[in-house]
């Protein structure tokens, strides 16, 4: 059983937070392009397609990312959404999990340049190979099919923590196909969350699939 939720980002917060991402935008547009982490066609649309798509999810007023949450971004790639969230939300601690060395090298250098080393940790590994991280939130963006992402993510959540998988237009279909995986992993409180305002074509800023980890025992 799942629900569909429509939320609107606080546009004043979004506008204020964009300034915190200017330096990261420039890093992606230059070093990210040079290292093959983004394609040439993506540079002109880094803001609408990538940065704002990640940033809107972190709006504290929507409550998707609790205050002072510990976050793991699995398959972090170029740091989307992990570095975006760390920049926009100074209360968060973020672990970027990425198996490829050339990407972890980029993430390490970008984190240092952006002054995030005290709150951002980079781990070179596959999420499925790590011991449970016991974090409040696990996130990923365009990583894999939802049933696979659920299997990789939920073991790393504390009881009551939540997976926030940033997806696109196929979110509803992927969720339908992931029902068994969600149940097998102890997933609950499932929702598709569309974050507006929508554009002229009716598309939201971001579509997020939320799956909470069932609270068992004392909830610790």
Are the C-beta atoms of residues 193 and 210 closer than 8 Å to each other? yes
Cβ atoms 190, 175 nearer than 8 A: yes
CA-based diameter of the chain, in Å?
Answer: 50
Report pLDDT for 202: 87
Alpha carbon distance 161, 184 (integer Å): 16
Domain count, the chain: 1
Q: Is residue 58 part of a domain?
A: yes
Residue 126 inside a domain? The answer is: yes
**What is the token pair recorded at 111?**
């984190």
Digitized pLDDT (tens) for each residue of the chain, 220 residues in all:
689 999 999 999 999 999 999 999 999 999 999 999 999 999 999 999 999 999 999 999 999 999 999 999 999 999 999 999 999 999 999 999 999 999 999 999 999 999 999 999 999 999 999 999 999 999 999 899 999 999 999 999 999 999 999 998 889 999 999 999 899 989 999 999 999 999 888 899 999 999 999 876 654 4
pTM score: 0.95
pLDDT of residue 220: 47
Length of the chain in terms of residues written: 220
Residue 28 in domain: yes
The answer to the question of residue 124 being in a domain is: yes
Whether 148 maps to a domain, the answer reads yes
Answer yes or no: is 219 within a domain. no
Residue 92 forms part of a structural domain: yes
H/E stretch holding 210: strand 206-213
- CA atoms of 122 and 96, how far apart (whole Å): 5
CATH of the domain at 96: 3.40.50.150
What residue numbers bound the domain in which 16 lies?
A: 2-213
Question: Which 3 state secondary structure label does DSSP give 137?
Answer: strand
Predicted local confidence at residue 219, as pLDDT: 47
Is residue 74 domain-resident? Answer: yes
**pLDDT at residue number 201:** 85
Are the beta carbons of 197 and 219 closer than 8 angstroms? no
């Amino acid at each position: 059983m799942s629900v569909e939720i429509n939320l609107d980002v606080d546009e004043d917060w979004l506008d204020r937070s964009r300034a915190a991402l200017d330096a990261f935008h420039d890093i992606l547009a230059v070093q990210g392009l040079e290292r093959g982490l983004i394609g040439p066609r993506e540079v002109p649309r880094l803001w609408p397609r990538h940065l704002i798509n990640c940033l809107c999810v972190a709006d504290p007023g929507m409550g998707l990312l609790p205050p002072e949450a510990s976050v793991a971004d699995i398959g972090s790639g170029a740091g989307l959404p992990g570095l975006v969230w760390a920049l926009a939300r100074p209360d968060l601690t973020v672990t970027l999990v990425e198996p490829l060395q050339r990407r972890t090298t980029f993430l390490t250098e970008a984190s240092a340049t952006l002054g995030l080393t005290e709150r951002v940790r980079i781990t070179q590994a596959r999420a499925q190979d790590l011991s449970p991280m016991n974090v409040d939130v696990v996130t990923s963006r365009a990583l894999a099919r939802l049933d696979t992402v659920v299997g990789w993510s939920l073991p790393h959540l504390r009881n009551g923590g939540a997976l926030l998988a940033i997806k696109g237009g196929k979110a509803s279909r992927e969720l339908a196909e992931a029902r068994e995986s969600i149940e097998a992993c102890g997933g609950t409180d499932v929702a598709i969350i569309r974050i507006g305002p929508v554009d002229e074509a009716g598309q939201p800023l971001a579509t997020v699939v939320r799956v909470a980890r069932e609270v068992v025992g004392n909830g610790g």
